[in-house]
Chains A and B, each alone.
Chain A
Amino acid sequence: MADKEMRAVYAETLTELASKDDRIVVLEADLMRATGTGPFKEKYPDRAVNVGVAEANMLSIAGGMSTEGYIPFAATFGCFATRRAFDQFFLSCAYAGLNVKLVGTDPGVSAAFNGGTHMPFEDLGLVRMVPGIDIVEPSDPVSLKALVQQIAARPNSAYIRLHRKALSPLYPETATFEVGKAKVLRSGTGVTLAALGGLMVHNAVTAAELLAADGISAEVIDVLSLKPLDAETILASARKTGLVISIENHQAHNGLGSAVAELFAEAADRPARLVRMGIQDQFGEVGTEAWLLEKFGLRAEDIAAAVKKALKG
C-alpha cells in the first residue's frame, strides 16, 4: 500500500462494511468534507446523517439509532467529540449500554492551523474514564482499515482517534490486528519506545534508526489500542530493556503515559524505568505540524535525545 490519506481509508472501509452490513450508518456534524465520508453518502444516502453543527445532539441521536440496532460511526474533530459532547457520549452511548463508534479526528498537533482551540491534547484522558469502551489510535492505513473493521464487529461503544492526513504504511497488507493488542514493529534490547498514533509511531521508528547509528538498540511498540491496553506486550518488552519511553501526541498524563505508569506501579516487580513523552501540561497553539512537533518536543530527534538522557541518568 502506498502513502494514503487516512480519512480516505476510513471512508472506503466504512463504505465496504456498509455493503455487507446494513446496520452501519455514518453521522457527521457539518464536517463531512473534512472527514471525507462524502463517498459513503453518495452510495448510501439514507444511511449518512448530517446533523449540522451540533455535536452533542449528534451523539445522543447516535445512541437513539443504536437502540434500533444501527451501528453509528459519528465523527467530528477530536476536541468537539470529547470535550464538547462528553456527557452525551458517556450517558446516551456508553452508560446506556449502546454501540456507538465515536471518531475524533485531527489528534493533537495535527490540528495545526486550526490552533489551540481545536487541538485535542486531552481527548484520550477524557474517554479513558468511560467504562467498557474500546479506544484505538491506528498508526497507518493498514492498521486503520483493520481496526475499523474490528471495532465495527464489536458490540460496545468505542473511540477511534483518527489522523486524517496521509501516512505511509508501516505494515504489509496481510498483517492482522486485534483490538487490545499492540505490535512490536522493531525488536531491540536497550530501550522500549512505546508510541501511540501515526505521527508518534513514525517518529519512534525514525528515532530507533537514529539510535541504532549510535549503537543503541531500541525496540519500537506500536501501542494501537489504549483500552484495552496490551499489558502483556508492554511488560515483556519493559522487562527485557529496563527502560520504557511512552510517546503520545497528547498530554503526558491521563493518556498512554499514565496507563503504562499504572501498569508498572501495580506490577509485583519493578518492570522498567518509565519516561513519559507527550504534552507537558500545556495548551495547544497554532502553527505547522513540524513547528508544533518541535515546540512540544515530539520529533524523532527529541525522542532519541530523551533516550540518551535517560540512559545516562
Chain B
Amino acid sequence: MPGSADSATRAEREIMTAEELRILEAKAMDLRIKTIDAIGFLGVGHIGGSLSLIELLTILYYRHLKHDPADPRLESRDRLVLSKGHAGPALYSTLADRGFFPEEWLHTLNKGGTRLPSHCDRSKTPGIDMTTGSLGQGFSAACGIAKALKIKKNPAALFAIIGDGESNEGQIWEAAMFAAHNKLDNIIAFTDCNKLQIDGFTNEVLDLENLDGKWAAFGWHTQRINGHDFEALDKAILTAKAHSGQPHMIVMDTIKGKGASFCEGLATNHNMAYSYEKALEVIAEIRGGK
C-alpha cells in the first residue's frame, strides 16, 4: 500500500502521555455530563447515539481536528461532517465547550427559534460544516467536501461520522465507491458501531457484519477498534493520517447510551424521554465515579 512505510513508528512516537490521557478522560466526562444535561433539560432526545460518540468527539476536538472557534469557516481548518445528524447534541456540547458559541445555548436545544436543532444545520450553528439528518446524505456531502479540498489542493482533513444503522442506506455505499475511486485519502471516517438502531439490534433488523470487511472490500483503508478507548482512537487516527492513497474508515465498536446508567445499552435509547431530575441524578453518579 502506498505511503504506509513509517506509520507504526510514527504512531508510537506520538502516542499520548498518561497526563494527556487523564485530561481527555476528564474532558469526556465533562462533555458526557453536558450532553445528558442538555437533552434532560428538554426532557427528550437522541441520547443513545450521542453518548456513544463522546470519546471520539473529545479526541477530535481536543487533539486532532484543526479549528478556530473565532473563525468557524477558516479555510485551513479540518472539516467535520456528522452524517448521523441526530447525534447533534453531543457535537453541540463539544462545540460549546470549545467556544464556538455560549454554553447557555445548550439549554435551548430543540426549542422554537433555537440555533441548536435536533439534527445538524450548517445555516444555524457555528462550527457545523454540513446540514445532515436524512441518513446517508451527509456522508456523500463529506465526500464532496473532500473532493473539493483535493481540487483546491487544500491539505485539510475531512472527518466524517456515520452510524451503523445509517449504513443500511444505499447512499453510504455509493459514497464509499466514489471516495475510493477518487482516492480521497483526506477522509478519515468513523462508523459508530453501537449495534442498535431505532427498531432494535442491528443484527436483527438488518445485519451489517462483516462491517470492516465490507469497507476493506470497497477499497477503504480500514481499522476496527474500541471507540471508547482513547489510546486505540489516537493510534487509529495517526495510522490513518500516515497512510495515503485510500480513504480511511475506522469502525468503532461502541455502546449506545454509554455512561448513563438509566439508558446504557438499552434497545429503546435512540430517542428517549427522561426527566431533568433523572438527568441530574445520573450526572451526580458520573461525578461520583459510580
> Chain A: residues with CB nearer than 8 A to chain B?
25, 46-47, 49, 51-52, 54, 56-57, 60-70, 87-88, 91-92, 95-97
Contacts and interface: CB of A to CB of B under 8 A. Distances in A.
A60 B140 contact: yes
A92 B151 contact: no
Interface string B167-208: 000010011011001000000000000000000000000000
A77 to B, nearest CB: 17
Contact of B145 (A51, A54, A67, A97): A67
A61 B178 contact: yes
Given A87-B134, A88-B134, 20 more contacts: A47-B151, A51-B174, A51-B178, A52-B178, A57-B175, A60-B139, A60-B140, A61-B141, A61-B144, A61-B147, A63-B131, A64-B141, A65-B145, A67-B130, A67-B148, A68-B149, A69-B148, A70-B148, A91-B131, A91-B133
B145 A96 contact: no
B116 interface: no
A31 to B, nearest CB: 16
Contact of A65 (B138, B147, B174, B178): B147
A65 B144 contact: yes
Nearest to B144: A64
Contacts of A61: 140-141, 143-144, 147, 175, 178
Contacts of A46: 151
B127 to A, nearest CB: 13
A69 B148 CA distance: 9
A287 B130 CA distance: 43
A6 B11 CA distance: 55
A63 B144 contact: yes
A63 B143 CA distance: 10
Contacts of B181: 52
A88 B174 CA distance: 13
B137 interface: yes
Given A49-B147, A57-B171, A67 B140 contact: no
B156 to A, nearest CB: 10
Contact of B137 (A54, A66, A87, A97): A87
Most buried by B among A62, A63, A64, A67: A64
Contacts of A65: 144-145, 147-148
Contact of B140 (A64, A68, A69, A97): A64
A57 B178 contact: yes
B151 A63 contact: no
B247 to A, nearest CB: 14
Contacts of A87: 134, 137
B144 A95 contact: no
Most buried by A among B137, B139, B174: B137
23 contacts: A49-B147, A52-B181, A54-B174, A56-B140, A57-B171, A61-B147, A63-B131, A64-B130, A64-B140, A64-B142, A64-B143, A64-B146, A65-B147, A67-B122, A67-B130, A67-B144, A67-B148, A68-B145, A68-B148, A68-B152, A96-B121, A96-B123, A97-B131
A88 B144 CA distance: 13
B90 to A, nearest CB: 21
A65 B178 CA distance: 14
Nearest to A95: B131
Contacts of B144: 60-68
Interface in B101-146: 121-123, 129-131, 133-134, 136-146
Nearest to A88: B137
Nearest to A53: B174
A114 B259 CA distance: 56
Nearest to B151: A46
Contacts of B151: 25, 46-47, 70
Contacts of B137: 56, 60, 63, 87-88, 91-92
Given A63-B130, A68-B149, A91-B137, A56 B142 contact: no
Contacts of A68: 144-145, 148-149, 152
Most buried by A among B136, B142, B145, B148: B148
Nearest to A49: B147
A68 B122 CA distance: 12
A97 B123 contact: yes
Nearest to A47: B151
B140 A57 contact: yes
A70 B81 CA distance: 18
A56 B122 contact: no
Contacts of B171: 56-57, 60, 88
Contacts of A63: 130-131, 137, 141, 144
B141 A67 contact: yes
A96 B140 contact: no
A202 to B, nearest CB: 38
A244 to B, nearest CB: 38
